[in-house]
C-alpha cells in the first residue's frame, strides 16, 4: 500500500548529484538535521573512497526510500556512482509487483540505473528446509551481491536502522547467541555470500527519525503488510516484546541493549585477535582444502579461544562464514578433548553438514573439505530445468530471432546457433580439464583459468552451471558464451538459453 504521505517526488531528480538548495536556505529541521548527521557519520567512518560505485538495496519501504534520498542529496558531493537494486521475493503477488514498479519509477526520477531480480523464496525454503525469513534473507543477499558484481560495484548498501539493530540483538539473545551475535550488525562487513562488501550506514538512526524526514520531504514509499504478521519472529519482537520491555521494565532499554552490543563487539574482537595468533601457533599445515592443527599446542589455550580457532579454520576451509552453531562447535571440541583423555588408536571422525570432515588422530586434528558429486541434467526444449545446487532454473526454447536480439543479451540470457549443437544439451557443473572458447577469443582457455580471471571465489566455481553438448561447453551461465555457438550471418535457426535465480 502507498503511504499517506505520498507526494510528487519529481523535484528530487532536479538536484541529484549536487546540493539541494533547500538544505542551505531553510532553518535546521528534521530533514536538515538527519542529512547533516548522515553526512558526518559517513565521513567519519570513511566507508568508501570518492568515486566508488554503490548498489543501493531499495525495497520501496520507508527506510530504503529515505536512504535513497539521502544518497542522492550527497552522492554528487562524494562523487559516488549510484545504482538502484531491487529484489522481488514473489511472496505477495500484486503488492510485491507494485513495490517493484515504485522502485523502478524512483530510479528514473533520480536518473539512476535500475536493476531487479526475482527470487523463488517458497521453493528455496522448501528445498533447503529453511523458514521463509531465512530463505528470503539468503536469496536476497545472493541476488544483491550478484547485481553488485554485474555493475562492478564496490559495495551493497542496505537501510538497516537502529531499530533493526535492537530487534536483531533481541532475536540473537532469544536463540542463545554468542558474543558475535550479541554484537549485532556491523556497519561494514563482507556480505553473507562472501562476494562483496555490505554496508549499513543508517544504523545510528531510528525509524522515527527517518519517518519525520520522509514526511518533511514529502517522500513516497510503500508499506509491507507482512511487517505486521505475528507469524514472523521479528514482527513479534517489534510489536509485542519491545513495547512490553519499554513500558513494564526499562523505557530506555534500547540504549542499554546497544551498550551491551558495543561491549560484546569489543570482547568478540579481542578474542578473535587472540584466536588469530593462536591459529598461527597451532597450524601444522595448510592446503587449499585441508588444514591440520597440532593437538599439543591446541590444548594449551582456553576453551573459548579453541572455539574461535575452530570457527576460523572452518571459515577458511569453506571460504565462507559457514555459521557454525554452538552445538556444532561444542561437538568438535568434545571430539578433540576426548583424544586428550584417551588417545585414539586409530582416528575419530565428525562430518559437518556433508561439507567438512574433521578427523582427530593421536597428535593432530585435520579439517578437510568434502566435494560430493554434482549431477548432470538433460535439457529438453521448452521445459524448465531446476538446478537447485546453483539456485537456478535453466530453460532452452526454440524462438524466432528478434531483430534487436543483441539488446536483450545478458549474462543470463543468450541466443545460440542451433546448427552448431551436436547431441543432447545438458546442464552440468565444471569438471577437471574443462576448456572452452570464450566469445570473442580466437583460442581456447581453461574454464578454471577463466573463472580465476573473473575473480570468482573457489567455493563458488564448482557450483556455476555449464550448458554443454557433445561438442563441448556451450555457455558458462552468468558469464560467457562459447565462440563456436554464436549467431552469425549463416545462422538459420536459433535456440534461446535462459537462466533464472530461484
Question: Residue 23: is its pLDDT beyond 50?
Answer: no
Q: Is 233 contained in some domain?
A: no
Query: Looking at residue 195, what is its pLDDT?
Result: 66
Same domain, yes or no, for 365 and 427? no
Under the banding of pLDDT at 50, 70 and 90, the label for residue 462 is confident
Same domain, yes or no, for 307 and 363? yes
Under the banding of pLDDT at 50, 70 and 90, the label for residue 26 is very low
**C-alpha span between 460 and 469 (Å, rounded):** 23
3 state SS for 312-378: HHHHHHHCCCCCCCHHHHHHHHHHHHHHHHCCCCCCEEEEECCCEEEEECCCEEEEEECCCCCCCEE
Query: Looking at residue 406, what is its pLDDT?
Result: 86
Q: Is 356 contained in some domain?
A: yes
Q: Is 259 contained in some domain?
A: no
As given in the structure block, the three cell numbers for residue 242 are 519491545
Same domain, yes or no, for 181 and 54? yes
Query: Looking at residue 481, what is its pLDDT?
Result: 95
The DSSP bridge partners found for residue 350 are: 358
Q: What is the mean pLDDT of residues 224-245?
A: 90
Domain that holds residue 426: 377-501
Q: Is 352 contained in some domain?
A: yes
Q: Could you give phi then psi for residue 212, rounded to 5 degrees? A: -60, -40
Q: What is the mean pLDDT of residues 152-160?
A: 95
For residue 490, give the CATH number of its domain.
Answer: 3.50.40.10
Question: Residue 474: is its pLDDT beyond 70?
Answer: yes
Under the banding of pLDDT at 50, 70 and 90, the label for residue 399 is confident
Same domain, yes or no, for 117 and 56? yes
Q: Are 444 and 437 in contact (CB under 8 A)?
A: yes
Q: Are 115 and 83 in contact (CB under 8 A)?
A: yes
Compute CA 104 distance to the chain's CA centroid, rounded to the nearest angstrom. Answer: 21
Q: Are 502 and 489 in contact (CB under 8 A)?
A: no
**C-alpha span between 288 and 307 (Å, rounded):** 22
Identify which of 171, 180, 168, 193 has the alpha carbon closest to the alpha carbon of residue 308.
180
Which of 369, 400, 433 lies at the terminal end of a domain, its last residue?
369
**Where is pLDDT greater, at 5 or 36?**
36
Under the banding of pLDDT at 50, 70 and 90, the label for residue 126 is confident
For residue 101, give the CATH number of its domain.
Answer: 3.40.50.620
**pLDDT per position as a tens digit, 250-287:** 999 999 999 999 999 999 999 999 999 999 999 999 98
Identify which of 266, 238, 64 has the alpha carbon closest to the alpha carbon of residue 166.
238
First to last CA, the chain: 26
Which of 369, 388, 408 lies at the terminal end of a domain, its last residue?
369
Same domain, yes or no, for 381 and 365? no
Identify which of 196, 117, 127, 119 has the alpha carbon closest to the alpha carbon of residue 156.
196
Same domain, yes or no, for 202 and 99? yes
**C-alpha span between 153 and 82 (Å, rounded):** 9
Question: Residue 304: is its pLDDT beyond 70?
Answer: yes
**C-alpha span between 310 and 305 (Å, rounded):** 9
**pLDDT per position as a tens digit, 336-395:** 999 888 877 767 889 998 889 999 988 999 999 887 778 899 999 999 999 988 889 999
Query: Looking at residue 454, what is its pLDDT?
Result: 87
Kind plus residue range of the DSSP H or E element containing 461? helix 458-461
Same domain, yes or no, for 287 and 426? no
Q: Is 270 contained in some domain?
A: no
Contacts for 187 with CB less than 8 Å, ≥ 6 apart: 45, 47, 199, 200, 201, 203
Query: Looking at residue 501, what is its pLDDT?
Result: 83
Question: Residue 27: is its pLDDT beyond 70?
Answer: no
Same domain, yes or no, for 171 and 320? no
Same domain, yes or no, for 31 and 179? yes
The residue assigned the cell 556512482 is 81
Identify which of 378, 384, 383, 355 has the alpha carbon closest to the alpha carbon of residue 463.
355
**C-alpha span between 81 and 86 (Å, rounded):** 17
Same domain, yes or no, for 304 and 335? yes
Mean pLDDT of the chain, nearest integer: 88
**C-alpha span between 181 and 450 (Å, rounded):** 38
Q: Is 410 contained in some domain?
A: yes
**Where is pLDDT greater, at 41 or 432?**
41
**pLDDT per position as a tens digit, 400-433:** 888 888 888 888 999 999 999 999 999 999 988 8
Least confident range from 122-131, 178-187, 218-227, 340-349: namely 340-349
**Within 10 A of 376 (CB to CB), how many other CB atoms are there?**
12
**C-alpha span between 54 and 132 (Å, rounded):** 28
**C-alpha span between 126 and 474 (Å, rounded):** 31
Helix, strand, coil percentages in the chain from 3-state DSSP, rounded to 5: 45, 20, 35
Q: With left for phi above 0 and alpha for psi between -120 and 50, is residue 360 left, alpha or beta?
A: beta
Query: Looking at residue 324, what is its pLDDT?
Result: 87
Identify which of 52, 90, 66, 72 has the alpha carbon closest to the alpha carbon of residue 5.
66
What angle do helix axes 121-128 and 132-150 make, rounded to 10 degrees? 120
Contacts for 285 with CB less than 8 Å, ≥ 6 apart: 291, 292
Q: Is 431 contained in some domain?
A: yes
Which of 369, 397, 425 lies at the terminal end of a domain, its last residue?
369
**C-alpha span between 350 and 361 (Å, rounded):** 12
Counting Cα atoms < 13 Å in the Cβ hemisphere of 94 gives: 2
Identify which of 445, 446, 438 has the alpha carbon closest to the alpha carbon of residue 485.
438
**C-alpha span between 205 and 203 (Å, rounded):** 6
As given in the structure block, the three cell numbers for residue 448 are 578454471
Under the banding of pLDDT at 50, 70 and 90, the label for residue 460 is confident
Same domain, yes or no, for 35 and 80? yes
Query: Looking at residue 193, what is its pLDDT?
Result: 60
Query: Looking at residue 17, what is its pLDDT?
Result: 33
The residue assigned the cell 557450483 is 463
Q: Residues for the chain: how many in total?
A: 502
Q: What is the mean pLDDT of residues 433-456?
A: 91
Q: Are 83 and 113 in contact (CB under 8 A)?
A: yes
Least confident range from 25-39, 41-55, 123-137, 175-189: namely 25-39
Q: Is 485 contained in some domain?
A: yes
Under the banding of pLDDT at 50, 70 and 90, the label for residue 224 is confident
For residue 312, give the CATH number of its domain.
Answer: 3.30.465.60
**C-alpha span between 38 and 439 (Å, rounded):** 45
Query: Looking at residue 458, what is its pLDDT?
Result: 65
Number of domains making up the chain: 3
**C-alpha span between 290 and 180 (Å, rounded):** 26
As given in the structure block, the three cell numbers for residue 438 are 570464450
Query: Looking at residue 353, what is its pLDDT?
Result: 86
Query: Looking at residue 373, what is its pLDDT?
Result: 72
Same domain, yes or no, for 330 and 357? yes
Q: Could you give phi then psi for residue 42, rounded to 5 degrees? A: -60, -45
As given in the structure block, the three cell numbers for residue 495 are 535456440
Query: Looking at residue 3, what is its pLDDT?
Result: 39
Question: Residue 1: is its pLDDT beyond 60?
Answer: no
Amino acid at each position: 500500500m502507498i503511504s499517506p504521505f505520498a507526494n510528487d517526488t519529481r523535484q528530487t531528480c532536479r538536484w541529484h548529484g549536487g546540493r539541494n538548495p533547500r538544505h542551505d536556505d531553510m532553518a535546521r529541521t528534521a530533514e536538515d538535521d538527519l542529512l547533516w548527521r548522515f553526512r558526518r557519520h559517513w565521513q567519519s567512518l570513511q566507508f568508501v573512497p570518492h568515486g566508488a560505485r554503490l548498489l543501493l538495496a531499495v525495497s520501496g519501504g520507508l527506510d530504503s526510500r529515505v536512504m535513497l534520498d539521502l544518497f542522492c542529496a550527497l552522492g554528487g558531493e562524494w562523487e559516488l556512482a549510484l545504482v538502484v537494486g531491487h529484489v522481488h521475493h514473489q511472496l505477495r503477488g500484486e503488492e510485491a509487483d507494485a513495490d517493484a514498479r515504485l522502485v523502478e519509477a524512483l530510479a528514473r526520477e533520480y536518473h539512476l540505473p535500475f536493476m531487479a531480480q526475482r527470487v523463488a523464496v517458497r521453493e528455496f525454503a522448501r528445498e533447503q528446509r529453511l523458514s521463509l525469513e531465512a530463505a528470503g534473507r539468503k536469496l536476497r543477499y545472493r541476488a544483491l551481491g550478484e547485481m553488485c558484481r554485474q555493475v562492478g560495484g564496490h559495495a551493497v548498501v542496505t537501510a538497516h536502522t537502529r531499530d533493526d539493530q535492537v530487534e536483531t540483538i533481541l532475536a540473537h539473545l532469544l536463540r542463545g547467541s554468542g558474543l558475535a551475535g550479541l554484537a549485532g550488525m556491523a556497519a561494514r562487513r563482507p556480505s553473507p555470500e562472501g562476494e562483496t562488501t555490505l554496508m549499513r550506514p543508517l544504523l545510528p538512526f531510528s525509524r522515527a527519525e527517518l519517518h519525520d524526514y520522509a514526511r518533511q520531504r514529502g517522500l513516497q514509499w510503500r508499506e509491507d503488510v507482512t511487517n505486521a504478521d505475528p507469524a514472523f519472529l521479528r514482527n513479534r519482537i517489534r510489536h509485542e516484546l519491545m513495547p512490553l520491555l519499554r513500558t513494564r521494565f526499562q523505557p530506555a532499554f534500547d540504549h542499554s541493549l546497544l551498550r551491551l552490543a558495543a561491549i560484546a563487539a569489543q570482547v568478540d574482537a579481542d578474542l578473535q585477535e587472540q584466536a588469530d595468533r593462536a591459529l598461527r601457533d597451532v597450524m601444522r599445515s595448510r592446503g587449499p582444502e585441508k588444514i591440520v592443527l597440532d593437538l599439543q599446542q591446541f590444548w594449551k589455550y582456553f576453551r573459548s579461544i579453541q572455539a574461535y580457532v575452530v570457527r576460523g579454520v572452518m571459515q577458511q576451509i569453506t571460504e565462507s562464514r559457514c555459521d557454525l552453531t554452538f552445538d556444532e562447535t561444542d561437538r568438535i571440541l568434545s571430539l578433540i578433548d576426548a583424544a586428550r583423555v584417551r588417545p585414539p588408536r586409530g582416528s575419530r571422525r565428525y562430518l559437518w553438514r556433508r561439507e567438512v570432515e574433521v578427523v582427530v588422530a593421536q597428535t593432530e586434528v585435520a579439517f578437510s573439505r568434502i566435494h560430493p558429486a554434482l549431477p548432470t541434467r538433460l535439457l529438453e526444449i521448452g521445459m524448465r530445468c531446476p538446478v537447485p545446487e546453483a539456485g537456478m532454473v535453466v530453460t532452452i526454447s526454440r524462438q524466432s530471432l528478434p531483430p534487436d536480439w543483441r539488446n536483450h543479451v545478458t549474462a543470463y540470457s543468450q541466443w545460440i546457433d542451433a546448427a552448431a549443437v551436436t547431441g543432447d544439451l545438458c546442464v552440468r557443473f565444471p569438471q577437471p580439464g574443462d576448456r572452452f572458447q570464450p566469445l570473442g577469443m580466437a583460442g581456447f582457455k581453461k574454464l578454471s583459468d577463466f573463472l580465476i580471471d573473473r575473480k570468482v571465489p573457489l567455493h563458488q566455481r564448482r557450483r556455476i552451471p555449464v550448458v554443454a553438448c557433445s561438442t563441448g561447453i556451450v555457455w558458462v551461465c552468468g558469464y560467457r558464451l562459447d565462440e563456436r555457438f554464436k549467431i552469425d550471418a549463416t545462422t538459420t535457426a536459433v535456440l534461446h538459453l535462459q537462466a533464472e535465480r530461484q
